[in-house]
Amino acid sequence: MTEDPYAYPVGYAVSLCPAEPEPPFEEPSQQRLVWGAEWGAADEVGRLRTVLMRRPGDEYQRVRRDGWDERAQALVDPAGGWYWESREPPDVDLVARQHAGLVTALKAEGVEVVEVQGPAAPHLSRPIYTRDPLCTVPGGAIIGRMAPAMRRGEEGMVTRTVAALGMPILRTIHGSGLLEGGSFVKLTPRLAAYGTSVRCNEEGARQLREVLDVLGIELLVLPMVGWSIHIDGHIGMVDVDKALVDIAGLPFWFLDRLRAEGIEAIPCPAGEEWAINSLALRPGRVLMCEGYPRARDALERRGVEVVTIPYDEIQKGGGGVHCSTMELVREAAV
């Protein structure tokens, strides 16, 4: 007996090609199939494959010697357009050489360097610090929202660049949320921390948590102390179970949680806190600004390899090696 085709409703063919919510979006096979690569990062220490950077332009040439502010101990634009933590204006040639040296060091480690595309708007004074306009998680990027006027607008440059690469954008912080990538750290594949501060607020944390909840990642929110703006000045992961930390800049409950997670908090020697702003190249190997011998010794005595480069001139702008890079692709460490 021939089956009556009219016994089935119009559109029945759709049911023969069912929806497939599993495996999830961020699963490696789905990333490769749909997005052409396994984007993002599940931790801070797996082998680094691709980073986002931006060469310095002419933004530092606007820093003026007559902007010295005794209270801030820095050169500061009265209109809030820039600051520079030195009595002397930037040595722009040295800035360019040190940034180029960072690029060279990364390439020597087999890391692909992607440059932010497009000219910077005239008011932007810190586009060299590519860590802050976004953060990356398994499967893609979260575009942040910069707090000060001197940086607002970097978000668009970064968005256009990563989108052109084919990297998924999982969320853009909007409304009154403020989120900068330097205040986000992936502690383990299932635990992350976000530091609230004068630059990063609770609304930014709420929107970030919504993304992480989908990924099954717990978010710890902790307030930064004083005028500290980002958590990467207080903790830097150097291995799957080790972090270089500024003990005085972190709450006790957070240090307890690190211990509970099996992460050794290696105290950073006083006066060498810039060493924390380093970049893990792979588990147990980090890239650090030279000039912090006690911090380097503390890491090497615990089996962490340290590669150093000169980067002190760029640090006067308020950001270091970590601030100048954002991982777009990092292999999972475990």
Task: Please state, in angstroms and rounded to a whole number, the distance separating the CA atoms of residues 330 and 281.
Answer: 9
| Per-residue model confidence (pLDDT) at position 5 | 61
CA 213 to chain centre: 19
Helix (H) or strand (E) holding 297: helix 293-300
Task: Please state, in angstroms and rounded to a whole number, the distance separating the CA atoms of residues 108 and 207.
Answer: 37
Q: Which CATH class is domain 38-330?
A: alpha beta
Task: Please state, in angstroms and rounded to a whole number, the distance separating the CA atoms of residues 267 and 104.
Answer: 29
Helix (H) or strand (E) holding 157: helix 154-165
Task: Please state, in angstroms and rounded to a whole number, the distance separating the CA atoms of residues 253 and 223.
Answer: 12
pLDDT tens by residue, 231-283:
999 999 999 999 999 999 999 999 999 999 999 999 999 999 999 999 999 99
| Per-residue model confidence (pLDDT) at position 297 | 98
| Per-residue model confidence (pLDDT) at position 188 | 98
| Per-residue model confidence (pLDDT) at position 287 | 98
| Per-residue model confidence (pLDDT) at position 291 | 98
Map tokens 């007559």 to a residue. Answer: 66
Predicted TM-score of the model (pTM): 0.95
DSSP readout, 196-230?
A: E-SSS-HHHHHHHHHHHHHHT-EEEEEEPPTT---
Low-confidence residues of the chain, pLDDT below 50?
none
Torsion of CA 62, 65, 71, 73, to 10 degrees: 90
| Per-residue model confidence (pLDDT) at position 1 | 54
pLDDT tens by residue, 279-306:
999 999 999 999 999 999 999 999 999 9
CA 80 to chain centre: 24
| Per-residue model confidence (pLDDT) at position 9 | 77
